[in-house]
Structures are given as C-alpha cells and as structure tokens.
Structure 1
C-alpha cells in the first residue's frame, strides 16, 4: 500500500474535488441530450430498376451511457480514495500543543487542532476589543466593588449671591447711588470617585500575548500532525464496483 504525508493529501484534495465536480457535471449534461444518445442507419431501395436511387443515411451514437458511467466511476474513484485517505489519516494524526516548551495539550487529533485554530482567531478578536481604562485617569483596584476606582476629587458648589456696592453716599439732596453685582459664594463641596469595570491596557496586552502564543503553538502542532505518514486508502473501486457494476 502506497504512503504519503497527510499534508500532501490535503494539498491535492481541493484540485481533485474541483476536477470531479466538473467532470460529473459534464457527464450529467451529456446524458440529458437525447440527440447525442441516438443513432440511425437507413438505406433506400427503389421499387424497380428505373426508380430514383437515393444514398443511404446514418447517424452514429455519440454518447453511450455505459461509457459515461465508466468514466464517472473512474473520476469519482479518485475523489473517494483521496477523501478516504484524508479521513482515515485524521483518525491517527495527532500532536502535542506546547507553549514555551511546556505541553499544554497532549496527543491532540488534527481535526481538533483545526477547531482550536478557528476558535483562537475569534478569541483574538474578542480580547482585542475588550474595554480599556481611560489612560487620562489614575486607577486603583477596589476590592469591595470588584472594579477600578480613581482617587477622590473635590469640587466646589457655588451660588450667585447679590451684593451692593455704594458708588456714592446719600446726601441731603441726593439718595445714595448703589450698584448691585453678583458674587459666586461657595456653599458646599462635591467629592467625586469614578468607578470602571474596564481593564488596564497592560492586562489586555497580556491576554493578547497569551492568545497569540497559543495560536502559534496550535499551528506548529497542526503542521506536525499533518506530517504524519498515512496509507493510501482505496475504497472507490469497491463502491463503484457495487454501484455501477
């Protein structure tokens, strides 16, 4: 039984699929054209020797259904064999996922490694969009609320109070000249503490680094698993021997 590497089988599978689909479609269309499946042969014999002589007519059968079946079986046999080889190989192709030299996941099937790759791509997008604390503020962890908070900031609450300014004192002849103006007077204090459930930028960067490390480790493991030697499976002949035999 011939052998190959799993990654070689994966590399040719797409081309084999495309070729099989194209040839199967062509065969299907041919069999839908009755004219190509039909033939005729006829000759003319005048009633007597003096009658008009006409040449024979014939049309050959251009498409033979049994021949199309044989060609279809041959085309699909290659596809069935390649796919079987890949699927059988996927049952045995495994590798360890190592991060910084330490085995995180042991003996992982290649199909699960492909699943992990897809999930980690989605997780990378998720982590990258995590909310980050406003860098313009100074934050500290608040254990009681399980969040982050700023230092208290005190601001004043003021009120506009009218004041009188005597521009000229009253005399016997003239009343006092008084001008009214307003003054902002502090009447209280606001003490503000901001809270946030977002994450520090360093935490988000740490998480991104971990995801990217695991992504790299999974890719290495997949390549290792795909380098597994596999036996060339031949199942198409049995299938089409039964179907079209």
Structure 2
C-alpha cells in the first residue's frame, strides 16, 4: 500500500517530467513542416517527353497523436496529485505535548499551516522585551505592571555662605569670602515601572513553543505516513476531453 509521504515525494518529479513532455509536444506542433506531407508525380505531354521520378514527403507529426501524448503525460500527473489531495483530506494526526493532546485529529494541510505560523511566533518571542536584570522587580497588581523597590535620593540646593577672613578694624573694613554650600533640602523617592517580561517567563514561553513545534512536526510526519488509495482521475478527464 502506498503512503502519503511517498506520493508527495513522487509529485515533484511527475510535475517536472510532465512539463518537459508538454514543452516537447508544443515545440513540435509549432513546426508546420513536420505536420505537412505531399505526393507529386510527373506525366510528359507525349511519349517522346522526358520522364521524371515521383516526389513525396511524409507527414511526420499528427495532431491526434500529439493529443494522445499529452493525455498520457498528464494522466500520470493528474492521478498523483489526486491521490495526494484526496489523502490530504483524510490524513490526520493528534498534536501531543508531554502526553497531553493539544489539538486532536488535525488534517495534514492544517499541520503544515500550523508549523509555518509557529515559526513566526518563535520570531516574536525572540524579540520580547525582558526586565532589566540589574533591578529588583515585583508585580504591581493595582497597575498591572512590574515595579522596582523604592529608591530614595537626596535633593540638594546650593546655599550662599560667607566666611569672614578678617574682622573689621577702625582702619580696615572686614574681609569676607563668599561661597556656596550644597544643602539637602528634600528627598526624591523613585519607583520604575515596566511592561516587559521577566527572563524566566520568556524562557518558559520559548521552551513551550519548541515542544509544541516538535509535536506539530511529529504529527505531520505521522499524518504523512497514512496509507492512501490510488486515484484514477486522468483517464476520466482525457477520455471525455479528447474523445
């Protein structure tokens, strides 16, 4: 009994061979000389006249024969593709991850779709923003975001000061030096918020995705291993078309 994966393997070769044979037929049909023939005989006007040998050209290509060649080439391809497509409607498998059936009885065509889409999801997960590991984060239920612990920093202000170098006397004024001093006038309390994800969450998503991708591939291989019934479509199509 033929299996679906065997039909899939044969299909590409059948298409290539059929395209080549069709191209050959079309090329031949475009050469009028091969489709033409003639027969010419010569008869002198009287008995003393010169005799000439007859001339003839045979028809080398017949359009009906070309149609039969086309039908023969396409019939095999039609049957292979029909067998595959009918089998695709019936070939199914469960997607199983860690013994749990995630999706049951999935058609092989949908498994191919799923496999492609999961590859795109993998790219998305690879670009997910991750919380800064240098900070300590906790989840803020009220704001539905991640937050850091409060960090306090002092706010300072430059205050002008004066320093008397020499006191005033009856002969000289006082000598005073001015300068500024940073004085703490308040405290900033900073809390950072983020909508990114913890690294452990991203790693968990990546791990689950990889296991799901493996399960989908396994299911596809299992579905492609299903036995198929050979379909005979080509004879019916060309039996009607070229009758």
**One fold, TM greater than 0.5?**
yes
Give me the whole-angstrom Cα distance separating, in 2, the residues matched to 1:122 and 1:242.
46
Which residue number in structure 2 is paired with residue 193 of structure 1?
A: 191
Which residue number in structure 1 is paired with residue 116 of structure 2?
A: 118
The unaligned stretches of length 5 or more in structure 2 are none
User: Alpha-carbon deviations, 1:189-245, whole Å to 9, x = none?
Assistant: 211111111110110111111111111111111111111111111110111111112
Which residue number in structure 2 is paired with residue 71 of structure 1?
A: 69
Which residue number in structure 2 is paired with residue 146 of structure 1?
A: 144
Q: Is 1:167–2:174 an aligned residue pair?
A: no
Distance of aligned partners of 1:31 and 1:167 in 2 relative to their CA distance in 1, 3 Å threshold:
farther
Give me the whole-angstrom Cα distance separating, in 2, the residues matched to 1:12 and 1:62.
33
Which residue number in structure 1 is paired with residue 218 of structure 2?
A: 220
Give me the whole-angstrom Cα distance separating, in 2, the residues matched to 1:175 and 1:196.
61
| Cα distance, 1:34 vs structure 2 | 2.6
Which residue number in structure 2 is paired with residue 183 of structure 1?
A: 181
Distance of aligned partners of 1:175 and 1:233 in 2 relative to their CA distance in 1, 3 Å threshold:
same
Which residue number in structure 1 is paired with residue 29 of structure 2?
A: 31
| Cα distance, 1:175 vs structure 2 | 2.5
Give me the whole-angstrom Cα distance separating, in 2, the residues matched to 1:45 and 1:155.
124
Give me the whole-angstrom Cα distance separating, in 2, the residues matched to 1:191 and 1:210.
39
RMSD over aligned CA atoms reads 2.1
Distance of aligned partners of 1:160 and 1:42 in 2 relative to their CA distance in 1, 3 Å threshold:
farther
Find 2:80's aligned residue among 75, 79, 82.
82
User: Alpha-carbon deviations, 1:25-74, whole Å to 9, x = none?
Assistant: 33223323333323334345554567666665544433321111111111
Give me the whole-angstrom Cα distance separating, in 2, the residues matched to 1:58 and 1:25.
29
Which residue number in structure 1 is paired with residue 200 of structure 2?
A: 202
Give me the whole-angstrom Cα distance separating, in 2, the residues matched to 1:217 and 1:177.
88
Give me the whole-angstrom Cα distance separating, in 1, the residues matched to 2:65 and 2:93.
45
Number of aligned pairs? Answer: 243
Distance of aligned partners of 1:108 and 1:170 in 2 relative to their CA distance in 1, 3 Å threshold:
same
User: Alpha-carbon deviations, 1:93-144, whole Å to 9, x = none?
Assistant: 1222211122222222212222221121121112221111111211000000
Query: Taking structure 2 as the reference length, what is the TM-score of the superposition?
Result: 0.90
For 2:90, what is the secondary structure of its paired residue? coil
Give me the whole-angstrom Cα distance separating, in 1, the residues matched to 2:149 and 2:53.
110
